[in-house]
Amino acid sequence: MRIERLREFIAGKELDGALITGRENLFYFSGSAPVLGGYLVVTPDDALFIVPELEYEEARETSRVPVEKFKTGKELYEKLSSLNLKKLGIEGKTSFSTLQTLREKVGVREFTSIDEVVRDLRIIKEPEEIEAIKAACEIADMAMMAALEEVREGRREREVAARMEYVMKMNGAEKPAFDTIVASGPRSALPHGIAGDRRIERGDLVVIDEGALYRHYNSDMTRTIVAGSPNEKQKDIYYAVLEAQKKGVEMARPGAKAKDVDGAVREVIAEYGYGDYFIHSTGHGVGLEIHEWPRVSQQDDTELRPGMVITVEPGIYLPGFGGVRIEDTVLITREGPVRLTKTERELI
């Protein structure tokens, strides 16, 4: 079905074929993602996955399309040239040097982006994809529970992150979905405060943002706690974010637009007087990539549909004081939103 949809696009654009080299898209269309990559060629009548010789056996076992191997670049380009790819569909991430090589050694004369059709396919998750994301979220919940137990005065941020990543791998994750964020004290005001050597101090806000990669699919969640007893200002910020996050999840229903979710979240935070301190979008799609479509932002008109998976992650960041973010991975269903990350949100 996935390749058939791509073939329909090829036919509509009168292309000779499409070339896929990105790891996530290789897996999406072929079921295989060799470490050193490969070249998936889809034509109006056929599909062929060409891989380096040392990746051949694994690709042959996992790929849903026929696989051939190459030993040298010369052999690869000869195989591609034999397919007569004069008008070629490509991914937007294809490098300029690759385009030049395809012109010079394969004879491609014209390129067309296939990003639109790939995005339209990948934005709606199929049942097996949803199951993988659910499993990744379960692992993330286990890691978060370990982190909540680990956070205490004197612990280094990096030590908390290490414990989380250990729990992820021991429970089936391939690796963390991204560099684990553990940001304490004033560093909690940094939205991307990757875990460092700072020791957590009593009274610190601690933002923990993590996710697991499981069978090629990602999860993403954030919780914020205080190492000790929160003061009144910390409580005020926390409950502003919590109310906004709950509102955003509630809004994430079929028929709503991504920008409507963002707007609802932003309105709550503004009512608390912190509108200027919410400095990023409300969320993003999650799947084979940790950030994919839709963008849950003020500019995204995408209509939410069943099968989409997004994050809802408002935050308030006060430089020199600290920050709060609360995030869940959310599945859009016909009945409404379902939080796939389930760790308690009311932690203060």
59-177-318 Cα angle (round to 5): 160
pLDDT at 143: 98
Query: Which of 1.10.10.10, 3.40.50.2300, 3.50.50.60, 3.40.350.10 would CATH assign to domain 2-122?
Result: 3.40.350.10
pTM of the model as a whole:
0.95
CB atoms within 10 A of CB 55: 19
pLDDT at 287: 98
pLDDT at 37: 83
pLDDT at 9: 95
Query: Which of 3.30.70.120, 3.20.20.70, 3.90.230.10, 3.30.920.30 would CATH assign to domain 127-339?
Result: 3.90.230.10
Separation CA 139–CA 149 (nearest Å)? 16
What is the residue-level pLDDT of the chain in tens, covering all 348 positions? 899 999 999 999 999 999 999 999 999 999 998 888 899 999 998 999 999 999 999 999 999 999 999 999 999 999 999 999 999 999 999 999 999 999 999 999 999 999 999 999 999 999 999 999 999 999 999 999 999 999 999 999 999 999 999 999 999 999 999 999 999 999 999 999 999 999 999 999 999 999 999 999 999 999 999 999 999 999 999 999 999 999 999 999 999 999 999 999 999 999 999 999 999 999 999 999 999 999 999 999 999 999 999 999 999 999 999 999 999 999 999 999 999 999 999 988
pLDDT at 348: 84
pLDDT at 36: 84
pLDDT at 81: 95
Domains of the chain, by residue range, sit at 2-122, 127-339
pLDDT at 265: 98
Separation CA 206–CA 281 (nearest Å)? 21
End-to-end CA, the chain: 47
pLDDT at 1: 82
Q: Which of 121, 219, 101, 125 is nearest to 164 (CA)?
A: 219
